Structure 1
Amino acid sequence: MASIAYQQACCVYPGAERLAVDRLDLDIHDGEFVVLVGPSGSGKSTALRMLAGLEDIDSGAIEIGGRSMVGVAPKDRDIAMVFQNYALYPNKTVAENMGFALKMRGIGIDERRRKVEDAARLLDLTEYLDRKPARLSGGQRQRVAMGRAIVREPQVFCMDEPLSNLDAKLRVQTRTQIAALQRRLGTTTVYVTHDQIEAMTMGDRVAVLRGGELQQFAAPTELYDRPRNAFVAGFIGSPSMNLFTAPVTDGTLSVAGSPLELDAATRALLSGRSSVTAGIRPEHLTVSSDGTGIDADVVLLEELGNETLVHGEVKDPDIRTLDGEPVTFVARSPHRAPAKLGDGIRLKQSAPTVHLFDPESGDRVG
């Protein structure tokens, strides 16, 4: 096990107009589970491949256990990779797949068998050790890939979207198993995903990337409660935060003629501003039962069984999304079918929790 440090690490692909990873700074503690998350093209997989030695570090440095990895071959980094496509040998059994790297290192058959059997017990694979990959389910194949990494007892696990090929139910089950296994083993882990729910539920800390640049690196709860900028605010959370730009009038914010409920600290941050980008989480909006609140028309209903997500297009020409489009708010309703498509409704705050961001830079205000 070891700590990891990205120090102004950069990577640029030949012919590219911008850096794939731009001056990345991360300090990852020994034994920590860190998730790199972001949209496609954000640089998260490139950052992981730089750590593993599969991409060059064009400037800056990456350290593992205090040792610089610049110029160090992948095989000498004591890292185990788990890939999206499993990369199993179809002609070898589960036991042979898991023990192959140990065989290449010259480890004796008895020691190999012990390590493979220990890993198989951890992963509930003991009864499948004599099977070929073709006779395994997707989740079982992914556990074999995990086992192949575990038997090496590396300093660091690198996982590049390992659950992408699994169906939704199996993804939830397997991500729980991976997180529990990592905590049991205590091995420093860097995990890449585009799924922010996966990131929030698995990581001790989460690094949000965009365009090769680090946006925020924090615990999941901090990312949710205090996003550093409007991008993080809109990316973290499902459904996404309702973000809109609105004029500030007499130190207040109004939407469709309805003043937003603000606490004293938030109201003070509006002083001297003519406009602001505001954000309200869907759980802090509900369909009003008393006829007061933000005037909107229902454009979509998402029935989830335990709740309904109500999408209401706001009737206010003065507020716009960050892209300049009309605003649609999403509200959570604990009741089924609180309205029908096309109905006029009122959306009301259930808490005075409003996030404020600068409309030019996107940075958090306060």
Structure 2
Amino acid sequence: MASITYKNATCIYEGSDKLAVDNLNLDIKDGEFVVLVGPSGSGKSTALRMLAGLEDIDEGAIEIGGKDMTGVPSKDRDIAMVFQNYALYPNKTVAENMGFALKLRGVPADERRRKVEEAAKVLDLTEFLDRKPAKLSGGQRQRVAMGRAIVREPQVFCMDEPLSNLDAKLRVQTRTQIAALQRRLGTTTVYVTHDQVEAMTMGDRVAVLKGGKLQQFAAPNELYDRPANAFVAGFIGSPAMNLFTASVVDNGVRVGDSVFELERDQVSILSGTGLTEVTVGIRPEQLEVTESGGVEVVVDLVEDLGSEAFVYTHAGSGSSGVELVARCNPRTAPRLADTVRLRRHPEGAVHLFDPKSGERLN
């Protein structure tokens, strides 16, 4: 096990005029499970490949266990990769796949078998050791790929979207197994995904990237409760946070023909900035349907999920129109085309962002 440090790590692909990873700084603790998340092209996979030695570091450095990895080949970094496509040998059994790296190292057959059987027990693969990959389900193949990494007992696990090829139900099940397994092994893990739900449920800390730049690196609850900017606010959470830019008025902001009221301290912050417009963020569960007060909206869609419902609405029209999503009780949810009012829950948090830079104001 080892700590990992990215020090202004930068990568640019040949022929490109844009940095794939731009001055990335991360300090990952020994035994920590860190998730790199972001949209396509954000640089998350490149950052992982730089750690694994599969991409060159053009500027800066990456350290593993306090040792600079610049120029160190992948095979000498003591890292195990788990890929999206499993990369199993179809002509070898599960046991042979899991123990192949040890065989190449010259590990004796008895010791190989012992390590493979130990990993198989952890991963619930004991009964499949003599099967070929073609006889396994997608989730079982992914666990074999995990087992191949585990038997090596590396300093670091690098996982590049390992659950992308699984169906939704199996993905939930497998991500739970991976998170539990990592905590049991205590191996430092860097996990890449574009799925923010995976990131929030698996990571001790999450690094959000956009365009090669780090936006925020924090625990999942901090990302959710205090996003550093409007991008993180809109990316983290499902359904996404309501984000809209509105004109500042005396006691809040104008939404359609109504005023969305803000707390006194938030009004003071806006007065201090001198802004005439502000980007407001509020999560769906922090809005409630009401008969009076709040903002008048028209219902566009109701998603009934059984235990809860999400009401998609709009206020106003044209360029000044605002779309808002609120969570409510499915038994009392409004109907399509109803006109209702939405107000902030008494304990609901409102986030304010600069409309140009997107940086947090409160």
Question: Could you tell me the TM-score, scaled by structure 1's length?
Answer: 0.95
Name the amino acid aligned to 2:358.
G
Verify: 1:339 aligned to 2:334, yes or no. Answer: yes
Name which of 348, 351, 354 aligns with 1:355: 351
Is contact 2:306-2:330 (8 Å) kept?
A: no
1:322 paired residue number: none
State the shift of 1:263 in Å: 2.9
1:328 paired residue number: 323
Question: Which sections of structure 2, spanning at least 5 residues, go unmatched?
Answer: none
Is contact 1:263-1:353 (8 Å) kept?
A: no
What is the correspondence of 1:95-106 to structure 2 with a 5 Å cutoff?
95-106=95-106
- What CA distance in whole angstroms lies between the structure 2 residues aligned with 1:359 and 1:124? 51
1:323 paired residue number: none
1:283 paired residue number: 285
- What CA distance in whole angstroms lies between the structure 1 residues aligned with 2:113 and 2:58? 41
- What CA distance in whole angstroms lies between the structure 1 residues aligned with 2:265 and 2:176? 38
What is the correspondence of 1:101-112 to structure 2 with a 5 Å cutoff?
101-112=101-112
Is contact 1:308-1:337 (8 Å) kept?
A: no
Name the amino acid aligned to 2:17.
E
Verify: 1:14 aligned to 2:10, yes or no. Answer: no
Name the amino acid aligned to 1:69.
M
Aligned length: 359
- What CA distance in whole angstroms lies between the structure 2 residues aligned with 1:121 and 1:267? 59
1:67 paired residue number: 67
1:169 paired residue number: 169
Is contact 1:142-1:162 (8 Å) kept?
A: yes
State the shift of 1:250 in Å: 2.1
Is contact 1:303-1:337 (8 Å) kept?
A: no
State the shift of 1:251 in Å: 4.8
- What CA distance in whole angstroms lies between the structure 2 residues aligned with 1:251 and 1:311? 25
Name the amino acid aligned to 2:282.
I
Deviation track 1:180-206 (CA, whole Å, cap 9, x = no partner) reads 000000000000000000000000000
* Structure 1 residues 83 and 120: CA distance shift in structure 2, 3 A: same
- SS of the equivalent of 1:214 reads strand
Verify: 1:35 aligned to 2:35, yes or no. Answer: yes
Please identify, of 189-198 and 260-269, the stretch whose mean Cα deviation from structure 2 is larger: 260-269
* Structure 1 residues 262 and 54: CA distance shift in structure 2, 3 A: same
Please identify, of 338-347 and 69-78, the stretch whose mean Cα deviation from structure 2 is larger: 338-347
1:133 paired residue number: 133
Deviation track 1:269-314 (CA, whole Å, cap 9, x = no partner) reads 11133111110100011222x2432111111221111111110011
- SS of the equivalent of 1:260 reads strand
State the shift of 1:316 in Å: 5.8
- What CA distance in whole angstroms lies between the structure 2 residues aligned with 1:266 and 1:155? 47
Verify: 1:233 aligned to 2:233, yes or no. Answer: yes
- What CA distance in whole angstroms lies between the structure 1 residues aligned with 2:64 and 2:109? 30
What is the correspondence of 1:1-366 to structure 2 with a 5 Å cutoff?
1-271=1-271, 272-288=274-290, 290-315=291-316, 319=320, 326-336=321-331, 338-351=333-346, 352-366=348-362
Is contact 1:2-1:65 (8 Å) kept?
A: yes
Is contact 1:156-1:188 (8 Å) kept?
A: yes
Please identify, of 119-128 and 269-278, the stretch whose mean Cα deviation from structure 2 is larger: 269-278
State the shift of 1:336 in Å: 3.6
Name the Cα RMSD after superposition. Answer: 1.3
- SS of the equivalent of 2:330 reads coil
Is contact 2:46-2:55 (8 Å) kept?
A: yes
- What CA distance in whole angstroms lies between the structure 1 residues aligned with 2:60 and 2:29? 19
- What CA distance in whole angstroms lies between the structure 2 residues aligned with 1:80 and 1:215? 27
Deviation track 1:237-261 (CA, whole Å, cap 9, x = no partner) reads 0000000111111252232343334
- What CA distance in whole angstroms lies between the structure 1 residues aligned with 2:263 and 2:114? 61
State the shift of 1:317 in Å: 5.9
- What CA distance in whole angstroms lies between the structure 2 residues aligned with 1:170 and 1:176? 10
- What CA distance in whole angstroms lies between the structure 2 residues aligned with 1:89 and 1:233? 42
- Identity value in percent: 72
- What CA distance in whole angstroms lies between the structure 1 residues aligned with 2:339 and 2:121? 58
State the shift of 1:14 in Å: 1.0
Question: Which sections of structure 1, spanning at least 5 residues, go unmatched?
Answer: 320-325
Question: Could you tell me the TM-score, scaled by structure 2's length?
Answer: 0.96
- SS of the equivalent of 2:42 reads coil
Is contact 1:251-1:270 (8 Å) kept?
A: no
- What CA distance in whole angstroms lies between the structure 1 residues aligned with 2:269 and 2:319? 21
Deviation track 1:73-108 (CA, whole Å, cap 9, x = no partner) reads 000000000000000000000000000000000000
Name the amino acid aligned to 1:102.
L
